Structure 1
Amino acid sequence: MKPTKSLMRKSHFLGTKIRNLRKRNHLTMEDLSSRCVRLDPESAPSVSYLSMIERGKRVPSVAMLEVIASVFQKQPDWFLDDVPEEQAITPNKGSRGGIDGMALEPSFLFSNDILQIAIPEMLSQTGTTGRQFAHLLIRAHQEHHQNHFPDLERAAEEVGQKRMPLSIDDLMEIIARFGVKLKWFQRAPSDIHTPLGATSKGVTTSFFEPPHTLHLNEILKQFPTRLKYDLAVHIGHCVLHNKDGLKSIMRVGGHDSDLIDEHGNTAVQSSTMDQQDILHAWRDFESSFFAGALLCPKVPFRQLLDRHGYEIAVNKMVDVSASVAMRRMTAVSPYAHWHYFDAYAPGKLKAVYRGNGIPLPWGNMRAVEDPCQHWAVFRMINQPAKGTSAQISILNVGNEPRIYCCESVKVKDLAGNSHVLCAGIDLNPAIDAQGGDSLTLADDLRRICVAGGGSAKMPIKIQDDLMSVARILNINWIERGIYNDARLICSRGASCPREPSCYEPLQSVI
């Protein structure tokens, strides 16, 4: 080992490597410090000093690094930048959703000051607005917590008393309790020209005017489930944010992160992200999650789903939209590994929850040239809706084959736009939980589909294995999907697993 002065120039990832090794061995900082003390009391780091090492605030002496290395049975040089082993510096997120991250090291490059300078430049160069970036941050937070927010659930339960279903009159009575007055206005859907060159319909459904006036569009009277959702969102704003003025306009059509006034005009947005962007995005999320928890309280709704095998049609039993019911599935199910997409043509994802880091079927901020057409949401947008859409899919994620199952429904919003809602699960954790080998099973199914040109009927043995998992999970549409052909899907055409590839011409250019 070289002297400490030389260590400083090779220690940019040292703290991250120690922290990740410690966590992967399920050691606290106290555990690691005490083990070092047992090996060499003179050179062992204290808990506070170890914390500073892990945060990149201190560089250990050669002797101290040798003690730490000995605990983990590594050579001291392994901790230096000369050995940038990917697994050593990549945080292990487990199965909490989202995507595998890179370590934010060296820490001086990821300081608050540097990020505040770099993020606006990045947004400007990519054409991403501050509001869009704020929504991405909220989504990452949602996925990190696997869509579980007990404080919001409790707040909704205190207001609704776990009643299900709640009627429009119930919600009107609740909102009146908060001293909110209702004012109705008339506005018909109008054309919106999207950045992708398509035209869709959009309409403002409601907006809150401080201190206590809620404006509702008369069109909501024709769509009771949407009226209930808007009322529930505004109740959430009253409960969580004390009816202040920071509440986004609610509308159908356009993009969730668009800034639109009550007259339906889209505001010009810059790439600069300010506190308003963060507050609006966060409060939109909180109020929306609250609304779902109010309309579909966790325990009663989970019991209903259990009784009906997680069929999407349970939304009709509680008089909520399919969208609310499907999003609540991801939050109330005891199985944690869900995803949810709300897709509009020609290629826009209006709402996304991608637990376990499932790649997006297309970009939700930018059009992509080579989307995989074999995702259920793609196929259904351009096909008549009929029968079940349950689909078993095999997708490589991080060079590992994963088996997914989803159920999709084609619906129309109150502005008249067709879109596809898709709820799905990652089956690999469920297979492993039953003592199976999910990667081997997924790879076997992948090979069968490749031989079939991209899709194939599953062999009886694989059907039986997946049927056992489906019945344990008690999700009916997995059983239906098993009897349909399994399909190979990909995140982008450049990684198409089909033979021949769907994108041979494109790949030859690339």
Structure 2
Amino acid sequence: MALSKSIIRQSHFLGTKVRNLRKRNHLTMEDLSARCIRINPEYAPSVSYLSMIERGKRVPSIEMLKVIAQVFQKDPNWFLDDQPEAVDITPNKGSRGGITGMALEPGFLFSEEILQIAIPEMLSQTGISGRQFAQLLIRAHQESLKNHFPDLERAAENIGQKQLNLTVEDLIDIAHHLGLRIHWFSEASTEIRDELGLKANRLVTSYFEPPGSIYLNELMKPYPTRIKYDLAVYIGHNILHSKEGCKTVLSIGHTNSWEEAYGEAQNYDINSIDMLKAWRDFESSFFAGALLCPKVPFRQLLDRNGYEISVHEKVGVSPSVAMRRMTAVSPYPYWHYFDAYGEGKLKAVYRGNGIPLPWGNMRKVKDPCQHWAVFRQLATPKAGSSAQISLLNVGDEPRIYCCESVNVTDPAGNSRVLCAGIDLNPALEAQGWDALQIASSLKEACIHGGGGAKIPEPIHQRLTTIAKILNINWIERGIAQDAQLICSRGGVCPRTPNCYESGKEKKK
């Protein structure tokens, strides 16, 4: 096909393709512009014009497109809409979180005005509240940054002076120094039913009334780790934001929604106030973890104790706080964290290593994978370590994960399972080994073993080496167990026979 003299109507994916090609070839805009100048200085794009092309703000002339195409050794027609291969128009996110990226093309459909109209309609039709959508955006941002927020870390260190094992009295003193007053109230837990019909005990642990009153539930006195967390959250809110804007209720149950705590109806609209409140709550929660487990001292403690979950007892925090902080302070960046409270119900999620979400709690999934360690532990509590090596396809490639799960009962009496894990493929590659080949071999062994298999000795030795390099004790305990095949949904179950009837029918 001859290149059209008017390419405007065929250029919706052009900018995305140029940007992705440039990044995959490790070129900056300055590099690409310079390369184009060497080919044809008359039609070469400047850096600023190239930026506008990539953002869909400008369409290059046919002559300029030919120059760009020559740099990448492509036919100019390849850049047009007739050949929008998914791999060419999908941003390369690498391992930056578990949410798959998409190209915002055609650009005019993703204008600010259109999104402002379409997002509320989408929320209304899917039953997602504005608050939930705000939290989803924040989680994607958190995962893209690998849970690193140095400004929040520094703010917490300035207040806590990097002290480990702050007591309740220490935190009350900090609160008093900030002009906050502590009050006590008594309120028993109530039984609630979530949107999927699952029963739970809801207990309001504390609330804040502007301008400076913290109210703590007396029922929390036997649970100092929870009191410390709540106090740290309010301290963070007052350090980072104004006291007048901190109207917050903290509770224990299946969700942490302030809307439900206040008894407010679900709101499917979204506005700037929703975003601001959700972001401030996230910042205050992260600040609380950083105050209770300051980065350098906590990392050193984890290193001395081989990243055992039980280290939370030495710091005087809950297992949840300690495990979430592992994902932020560890020098190894490829972590994930789950908090499960029922079959297929996840309360908190962090996926800094790109692990696909098994299934969430917004909608009921009929074919959940029953072999994820966090849900196996929930269904059948296991004494001692619950470390597991898992094989999971991410895209079309198998990856090796290891995690440790622990059973906990919260102060309201609800049973939960907390799970912290890492992606082992990057660690294998760092030693110069072919991680994909190792994962593929282990996957085949598990398939032949009906879904689980003893780890072959050569792979066992390499994983043991990785465990010692990373200094994570539960990796060695996981290696001692059979590796397990897991999947994101039963419909893509790799086991033979398939775990689900629907999967068997598909195979037939």
Query: TM-score normalized by structure 1?
Result: 0.97
The 3-state SS of whatever aligns with 2:10 is: coil
Residue 30 of structure 1 is matched in structure 2 by 30
- Is the Cα contact below 8 Å between 2:254 and 2:341 reproduced in 1? no
Task: Output one character per residue of 1:329-369: Cα deviation in whole Å (capped at 9) or x when no partner.
Answer: 00000000000000001332111001222122222211211
The 3-state SS of whatever aligns with 2:104 is: coil
Distance 2:480 2:466 in 1: 14
Q: 1:449 aligns with which of 442, 446, 449?
A: 446
Residue 406 of structure 2 is matched in structure 1 by 409
Q: 2:347 aligns with which of 347, 350, 357?
A: 350
Distance 2:488 2:349 in 1: 15
Give the deviation of 1:253 after TM superposition: 0.3
Residue 362 of structure 2 is matched in structure 1 by 365
Distance 1:506 1:189 in 2: 42
Distance 1:346 1:35 in 2: 55
Residue 421 of structure 2 is matched in structure 1 by 424
Task: Output one character per residue of 1:485-504: Cα deviation in whole Å (capped at 9) or x when no partner.
Answer: 11000100000011001003
Give the deviation of 1:34 after TM superposition: 1.7
- Is the Cα contact below 8 Å between 1:164 and 1:318 reproduced in 2? yes
Residue 87 of structure 1 is matched in structure 2 by 87
Q: Which deviates the most, 5-14 or 55-64? A: 5-14
Gaps of 5+ in 2: none
Residue 296 of structure 1 is matched in structure 2 by 293
Distance 1:13 1:509 in 2: 34
Distance 2:23 2:58 in 1: 19
Distance 1:250 1:196 in 2: 22
- Is the Cα contact below 8 Å between 1:233 and 1:288 reproduced in 2? yes
Task: Output one character per residue of 1:116-163: Cα deviation in whole Å (capped at 9) or x when no partner.
Answer: 111111111111111111111110010010101111001101111101
After the TM superposition, list the runs of 4 or more consecutive aligned residues in structure 1 that deviate by more than 4 angstroms: 1-5
Distance 2:3 2:246 in 1: 56
Residue 137 of structure 1 is matched in structure 2 by 137
- Is the Cα contact below 8 Å between 1:246 and 1:279 reproduced in 2? no
Give the deviation of 1:96 after TM superposition: 2.1
Give the deviation of 1:506 after TM superposition: 5.4
Distance 2:279 2:95 in 1: 24
Give the deviation of 1:462 after TM superposition: 1.1
Give the deviation of 1:381 after TM superposition: 1.1
Residue 502 of structure 1 is matched in structure 2 by 499
Q: Which deviates the most, 279-288 or 407-416? A: 279-288
Q: Which deviates the most, 86-95 or 434-443? A: 86-95
- Is the Cα contact below 8 Å between 2:123 and 2:129 reproduced in 1? yes
What is the identity, as a one-letter code, of the residue corresponding to 2:156? Answer: A
1:97-496 alignment to 2 at 5 Å?
Answer: 97-257=97-257, 259-261=259-261, 266-496=263-493
What is the identity, as a one-letter code, of the residue corresponding to 1:355? Answer: G
The 3-state SS of whatever aligns with 1:409 is: strand
What is the identity, as a one-letter code, of the residue corresponding to 2:424? Answer: L
Q: Which deviates the most, 304-313 or 17-26? A: 17-26
- Is the Cα contact below 8 Å between 1:390 and 1:477 reproduced in 2? yes
The 3-state SS of whatever aligns with 1:356 is: coil
Q: Which deviates the most, 244-253 or 323-332? A: 244-253
Distance 1:85 1:505 in 2: 30
What is the identity, as a one-letter code, of the residue corresponding to 1:97? Answer: G
- Is the Cα contact below 8 Å between 2:390 and 2:483 reproduced in 1? yes
Give the deviation of 1:83 after TM superposition: 1.5
Residue 39 of structure 1 is matched in structure 2 by 39
What is the identity, as a one-letter code, of the residue corresponding to 1:337? Answer: Y
Give the deviation of 1:507 after TM superposition: 4.8
The 3-state SS of whatever aligns with 1:103 is: coil
Task: Output one character per residue of 1:161-182: Cα deviation in whole Å (capped at 9) or x when no partner.
Answer: 1011111111111111110011
Give the deviation of 1:248 after TM superposition: 3.0
Distance 2:436 2:85 in 1: 24
The 3-state SS of whatever aligns with 2:6 is: helix
Distance 1:241 1:247 in 2: 11
The 3-state SS of whatever aligns with 2:109 is: helix
- Is the Cα contact below 8 Å between 1:237 and 1:247 reproduced in 2? no
Give the deviation of 1:505 after TM superposition: 4.2
What is the identity, as a one-letter code, of the residue corresponding to 2:181? Answer: K
Q: Which deviates the most, 83-92 or 61-70? A: 83-92
Give the deviation of 1:193 after TM superposition: 1.1
The 3-state SS of whatever aligns with 2:207 is: strand
What is the identity, as a one-letter code, of the residue corresponding to 1:228? Answer: K
Task: Output one character per residue of 1:298-354: Cα deviation in whole Å (capped at 9) or x when no partner.
Answer: 000000011110000000001000000000000000000000000001332111001
What is the identity, as a one-letter code, of the residue corresponding to 1:406? Answer: C
Distance 1:56 1:326 in 2: 42
Give the deviation of 1:376 after TM superposition: 1.1
Percent of aligned pairs with the same residue? Answer: 67
The 3-state SS of whatever aligns with 2:102 is: coil
Q: Which deviates the most, 69-78 or 94-103? A: 94-103
Task: Output one character per residue of 1:64-118: Cα deviation in whole Å (capped at 9) or x when no partner.
Answer: 0111111112111111111112222111112222333111111101111111111
Distance 2:310 2:480 in 1: 20
Gaps of 5+ in 1: none
Residue 71 of structure 2 is matched in structure 1 by 71
Q: 1:19 aligned to 2:19?
A: yes
- Is the Cα contact below 8 Å between 2:98 and 2:354 reproduced in 1? yes
Distance 1:248 1:274 in 2: 18
The 3-state SS of whatever aligns with 2:405 is: strand
Give the deviation of 1:249 after TM superposition: 1.2
Distance 2:203 2:269 in 1: 27
How many pairs does the alignment contain? 507
The 3-state SS of whatever aligns with 2:299 is: helix
Query: TM-score normalized by structure 2?
Result: 0.97
Q: 1:56 aligned to 2:56?
A: yes
The 3-state SS of whatever aligns with 2:404 is: strand
Give the 3 Å change call, closer, same or farther, for CA 5–270 of structure 1 in structure 2: farther
- Is the Cα contact below 8 Å between 1:36 and 1:45 reproduced in 2? yes
- Is the Cα contact below 8 Å between 2:237 and 2:284 reproduced in 1? yes
Give the deviation of 1:5 after TM superposition: 5.1
What is the identity, as a one-letter code, of the residue corresponding to 1:322? Answer: P
Distance 1:41 1:460 in 2: 59
Give the deviation of 1:274 after TM superposition: 1.6
Give the deviation of 1:508 after TM superposition: 2.1
Distance 2:490 2:431 in 1: 33
